[in-house]
Amino acid sequence: MVAGASNDHSTAKVLALIGGIASVLSILGWLGLNDAGELRDWLADSPSSGSSPAPHTSSPTDRVPDGSGTGEGSAGESGPEASTPAPDPTGEAFEALSVGDCLAVHDTGRGGTTSIDWSVGAPPDPVSCAGEQAQVQVTAVNTDCPTGYGKSYWSHRSATSGDTTKLCLTRVYHADYCILGRQSGDSISLALMSAVACRREPVPVPYNQIMHITGVYRAPAGADANNCRRVAGDPTRYWAALVDDGATLLCTTIYQGG
């Protein structure tokens, strides 16, 4: 009896073990695993029962754009091309000049005695300072211009850049040329930056004389109109001016030609 009971108990244990193995194999199949080793690895990789899943943090691509954008385009795209400024030929002509350049430019006299009315709207190309076309010379650029007889300035503000170019000018005189004068009694004021054709014709107000340049000389000490006489006893009436800071004597007479 004891031996039979022992055999029955052993048989039951074997059957229970077989049943357990079958259950394990069934669980492995359900989990998609092949053997106990894969089950052990799967259990090691699984989070512990006490841990909670990591909170979800949206990536930058998950963020919704703010109200300033619509999603069209990207930050790397460039905006509309800046409009090209309109050309300013006058400004370019001013900027192209340098100290020492000479120009065929003069005061017409139409600005009266208080302002200069230049003969052209923009500086022309420079001319030879040794030639008779030269009427002014650039002595400085973009600075406070010196004052004195036969000196002035010419400036231009660019509509494109807003910058102002200023030319300091000194008059260049030639014998036998003519300038404007304003006579009051025996006194005549010379428009030293002006130039006018040597012929009898109406002149702009307030001028009333055409003055003929009879000579341009190096001024001696104490020079005046008496130094303009060409020969001893010369009866001609002269009106003179010291220009170039007193270094040059400019001699003139009232133009008498036709």
pLDDT in tens, 52-97: 344 443 333 333 334 333 334 444 445 556 667 778 999 999 999 9
Same domain, 93 and 152: yes
Residue 76 C-beta-side C-alpha neighbours within 13 Å: 0
Q: Rg (Cα) of the chain, in Å, rounded?
A: 52
Determine, yes or no, domain membership for 221: yes
Do 244 and 224 lie in one domain? The reply is yes
**47 falls within a domain:** no
Q: How far apart are the first and last CA of the chain?
A: 170
Task: Give the pTM.
Answer: 0.67
pLDDT for 257 equals 86
In angstroms, the CA 193 to CA 153 distance is 10
73 in any annotated domain: no
> Average of pLDDT values for 39-60?
46
**H or E stretch covering 38:** helix 36-45
pLDDT given for residue 63 in this prediction: 35
Range of the domain at 191: 173-258
Of 172, 207, 229, which closes a domain?
A: 172
For residue 250 the two structure tokens come to: 């400019």
Q: pLDDT averaged over the chain?
A: 81
As a whole number of angstroms, the distance between CA 119 and CA 111 comes to 11
Whether residues 208 and 148 fall in one domain? no
Cα–Cα distance list, 149 to 90, 93, 164, 169, 246 (Å): 27, 26, 25, 11, 9
The string of pLDDT tens digits covering residues 202-227 is: 999 999 999 999 999 999 999 999 99
Same domain, 137 and 113: yes
Q: Say yes or no to pLDDT of 7 above 70.
A: no
| pLDDT on residue 214 | 98
Please tell me whether residues 165 and 191 are part of one structural domain.
Answer: no
Sheet holding 187-196, edge to edge: 187-196, 178-184, 209-218, 248-254, 239-243
Nearest-angstrom CA–CA distance, 24 and 18: 10
178 and 127 belong to one structural domain? no
Residue 257 and residue 179 in one domain: yes
Instruction: Decide if 243 is inside a domain.
Output: yes
pLDDT, tens digit (0-9, with 9 covering 90-100), for 188-205? 999 999 999 999 999 999
Please provide residue 225's backbone torsions phi and psi, each rounded to the nearest 5 degrees: -60, -25
Whether 208 and 251 map to the same domain: the answer is yes
Residue with more model confidence, 162 or 54: 162
- Give the total number of structural domains in the chain: 2
